[in-house]
Amino acid sequence: MPHDTPTILGIESSCDETAAAVVRGGREVLANVVASQDQLHSEYGGVVPEIASRAHIERILPVIDKTLRESRVDRREIDAIAVGHRPGLIGSLLVGVSAAKALAWAWSLPLIGVDHIAAHLHAAALDAPEALPFPALGLVVSGGHTSLFHMNSALDVEVIGRTIDDAIGEAYDKAAMILGLGYPGGPKVDRRASDPNADDRAHDFPIARLAKDSLDFSFSGLKTSLLYTVRGKPQGRGRNATFERSHEDLDEAAINDLCASFQRATSRAIILKLDRAIEQLSQKDATTPRALIMGGGVSANSRLRTEVTDWAGRHDIEIHIPQMKYCLDNAAMIAGLAALRYEAGEIDTLALSASPAGSL
């Protein structure tokens, strides 16, 4: 019988983290295990799908075993198996979905598929004392997404803005590559930008405003501007282009200034669209947000966390940001959101499929 504090085993394998978690009642995390593949992909400067799929296959069962041990729940206490089944790399998703189906079948438990992006928006509820308030303005900032949402509930989410080119996390990863900082770039740029001597106004990087009412984002111009600032204007086009300089000509202080200025530009781009979004949503009582809910890998960014908190203060609404350990990909957010689907009677069959495209 469905009840309101289900214990759910969640599985996540959409990109390059193999993860499992046990969550009770949608918010209480009993175990959260993440096996990162960063080291395997770093020499290639990005995720290599075939390497990711193979690593998921090797790690998924040990990760699930460890999760169950750490949770200290008896497997008979588990009410459902949840899995992030879209969007993501298809080969990676299939590993998690197959494992989840096998467990659901073997243990005769309901199977619940969860959208990874919707789950990032639930991450702020994990380990929180109360449920998230709605209606809310949602913001997902990750390696693959930069989107704004109007949320009537965790399960009733509408996209109101998205990136028209690069995602913000992708822009951070490319910026780090241009500056020779390695992969994944976000945390490295963040650390450099946080140097007390870094000057965030050393460079005035562009912010894409787009059309007057647009809630969409664009980060490719910012990336190109950083590239030209570091290397000078290119001679020739495309792959044959040659540059005047490289990052090796920069000293530490110059790199820190570039990181701080880049980080300032990305934060300003987000705040600009949050201003527009709250103005548009506040025109109707029914959609006026009570809170800003943020999620995704880039919500770990120190400056963005401070800026959105200040922004929410200025607009007198609540702010809900995930704890650091729930910003990056994890399965607790999958199991947590699945609890809400379970309570709503939204159960999938073993025909559940993995999909590279998301529902949002």
Residues 6 or more apart whose CB falls under 8 angstroms from that of 193 comprise: 200, 256, 259, 260, 262, 263, 302, 303
* Burial label, 98 (beta-carbon count in 10 A; 0-12, 13-18, 19+): middle
Among 112, 259, 298, 338, binds ligand KG4 (CB under 6 A): 298
Residue 96 engages ligand KG4 in binding (rule: CB under 6 A): no
| CA–CA distance, 158 with 160 (Å, rounded to integer) | 6
172 binds ligand KG4 (CB under 6 A): yes
- Binding of ligand KG4 at residue 84 (CB under 6 A)? no
Rounded to 5 degrees, φ, ψ at 138 are: -105, 145
The answer to whether residue 13 forms part of the interface with ligand KG4 (CB under 6 A) is no
Residue 94 interacts, among Zn ion, ligand KG4, none and using kind-specific CB cut-offs from 5 to 8 Å, with none
Residues 268-297: x where in contact with ligand KG4 by CB under 6 A, - otherwise, as a string:
----------------------------xx
The Cα–Cα gap between 175 and 90 comes to 26
The option from Zn ion, ligand KG4, none interacting with 25 (CB < 5 to 8 A, set by class) reads none
CB 84, min distance to Zn ion, A = 9
Q: Give the strand pairing for 136-141 and 111-115.
A: unpaired
Q: With respect to ligand KG4, which residue has the nearer C-beta, 326 or 342?
A: 326
Cα–Cα distance measured from residue 295 to residue 123, given in angstroms and rounded to the nearest whole number:
6
Helix or strand run (H / E) with residue 25: none
Encoded tokens for 127: 């380990």
Q: Tokens in use for 323?
A: 């704890």
| From candidates 26, 110, 161, 184, binder to ligand KG4 by CB under 6 A | 184
| Closest to 358 (Cα-Cα) out of 173, 144, 163 | 144
For position 142 contacting ligand KG4 by CB under 6 A, the verdict is: yes
- Is there binding between residue 133 and ligand KG4 (CB under 6 A)? no
**Among ligand KG4, Zn ion, none, what binds residue 115 when CB lies within 5 to 8 Å by partner kind?**
none
Nearer to Zn ion, 87 or 110 (CB): 87
Which residue from 77, 16, 82 is spatially nearest to 346, judged by alpha carbons? 82
Round to whole Å and give the CA distance between 150 and 157. Answer: 6
CB closer to ligand KG4 out of 101 and 145: 145
187 makes contact with ligand KG4 (CB under 6 A): yes
Question: By CB under 6 A, is residue 307 in contact with ligand KG4?
Answer: no
Residues engaged in binding Zn ion (CB under 5 A): 142, 329
**218 vs 301, which CB is nearer to ligand KG4?**
301
The residues of the shown chain that bind ligand KG4, judged by CB under 6 A, are 15, 142-144, 169, 172-173, 184-187, 190, 296-298, 300-301, 328-329
